[in-house]
């Protein structure tokens, strides 16, 4: 269970943290800000092509499509279960909804496009160069999230680190991903038992429905607002900069980095290199 006010407070905190991070990035490194919005990506399929194409691409449509469908799903899910009608100041502890939330939670913290976005935002906000060839590991994602994302945000005192800490927990992700959990509603209990607990100090053995609701809210709203606000900043580029042409630092196949112009087409929400 979570109150409407707590949910709105979490939502506002996450929106503010993401937008402040984007604003600071734009002020410190316009090129990295543009690359982040333009989904710069190294496409291995373009290596050694007959056309001699450059694998350092923009407008990564593969991840973009995954993000667009995920954003639609999250929007529909939040509208269905967290719209808080006037006569409902709190969510109920509906087990069917919680089962769905466990699935959503697992998908959020397993999503490679989402984790790539968080990782890139953390590192370019830390003054590093844009990582075109970023690989999210298939296993031990907890180390990747804790050390390579949350830890980097922490070094800058960025609130996103705290948001991740309040949402992500390896015990929860593993239990839900492998269906090693059960609900306990006997004798007035309202909790989730995690059957994957082996007794390590960092593990969770159980979590109350109330605590779960807060972890879920931090996770789903971080995912939704990151996708939504990146999309908003992207579609606002022309109005923000007063032009549809922008300059980025773009590597060639040989590794030489040059200033290169790109064009944003608002009507198609697309980026292209200027020829």
Distance in angstroms (rounded) separating the CA atoms of residues 27 and 49: 37
What pLDDT score does 67 carry?
76
Burial 143-178 (b: 16+ CB within 10 A, else e): ebbeebbbebbeeeebbbbbbbebbbbbbbbbbbbe
Per the structure block, which two tokens stand in for 46? 């373009």
The C-alpha angle 251, 114, 205, rounded to 5 degrees, equals 140
Q: Are 248 and 31 in contact (CB under 8 A)?
A: yes
pLDDT tens digits in sequence order for the chain, 275 residues long: 899 999 999 999 999 999 999 999 999 999 999 999 999 999 999 988 888 889 999 998 888 787 788 888 888 999 999 999 887 899 988 899 999 999 999 989 999 999 999 999 999 999 999 999 999 998 888 999 999 999 999 999 999 999 999 999 988 988 888 888 999 998 888 999 998 877 777 778 899 999 999 999 999 999 999 999 999 999 999 999 999 999 999 999 888 999 999 999 999 999 999 97
Assign 273 to helix, strand or coil: strand
Closest listed residue to residue 108, CA positions, set 51, 173, 174, 18: 173
Q: Are 29 and 129 in contact (CB under 8 A)?
A: no
Assign 213 to helix, strand or coil: helix
CA 220 from centroid of its chain's CA atoms: 9
- β-strands 257-265, 245-251 pairing: antiparallel
What pLDDT score does 213 carry?
96
- β-strands 56-57, 41-42 pairing: antiparallel
Q: Are 222 and 163 in contact (CB under 8 A)?
A: yes
Distance in angstroms (rounded) separating the CA atoms of residues 131 and 199: 37
Task: Return the half-sphere exposure (C-beta side, CA atoms, 13 A cut-off) of residue 197.
Answer: 16
Which helix H or strand E contains 109, and what residues bound it?
A: helix 95-110
Distance in angstroms (rounded) separating the CA atoms of residues 208 and 183: 10
- Using a cut of 0.85, tell me whether the model's pTM lies above it: yes
Task: Return the half-sphere exposure (C-beta side, CA atoms, 13 A cut-off) of residue 6.
Answer: 14
Angle of helix 112-125 versus helix 95-110 axis, rounded to 10: 60
Per the structure block, which two tokens stand in for 119? 């990782």
Question: Which residue is it, tokens 């976005």?
Answer: 117
Distance in angstroms (rounded) separating the CA atoms of residues 175 and 186: 21
Closest listed residue to residue 121, CA positions, set 7, 260, 225: 225
């Amino acid at each position: 269970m979570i109150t409407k006010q707590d949910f709105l407070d979490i939502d506002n905190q996450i929106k503010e943290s993401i937008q402040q991070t984007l604003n600071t990035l734009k002020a410190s490194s316009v090129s990295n800000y543009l690359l982040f919005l333009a989904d710069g990506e190294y496409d291995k399929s373009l290596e050694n092509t007959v056309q001699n194409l450059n694998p350092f691409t923009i407008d990564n449509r593969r991840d973009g499509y995954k993000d667009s469908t995920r954003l639609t799903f999250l929007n529909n899910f939040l509208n269905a279960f967290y719209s808080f009608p006037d006569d409902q100041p709190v969510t109920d502890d509906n087990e069917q909804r919680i089962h769905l939330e466990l699935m959503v939670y697992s998908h959020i913290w397993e999503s490679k496009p989402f984790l790539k976005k968080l990782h890139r935002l953390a590192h370019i906000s830390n003054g590093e160069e844009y990582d075109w060839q970023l690989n999210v590991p298939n296993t031990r994602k907890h180390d990747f999230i804790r050390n390579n994302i949350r830890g980097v945000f922490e070094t800058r005192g960025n609130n996103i680190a705290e948001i991740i800490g309040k949402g992500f927990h390896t015990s929860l992700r593993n239990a839900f991903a492998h269906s090693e959990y059960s609900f306990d509603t006997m004798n007035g209990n309202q909790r989730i038992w995690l059957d994957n607990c082996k007794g390590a100090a960092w593990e969770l053995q159980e979590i109350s429905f109330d605590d779960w609701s807060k972890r879920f809210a931090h996770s789903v709203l971080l995912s939704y607002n990151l996708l939504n606000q990146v999309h908003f900043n992207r579609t606002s580029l022309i109005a923000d900069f007063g032009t549809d042409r922008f300059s980025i630092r773009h590597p060639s196949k040989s590794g030489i980095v040059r200033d290169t112009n790109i064009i944003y087409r608002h009507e198609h929400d697309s980026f292209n290199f200027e020829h």
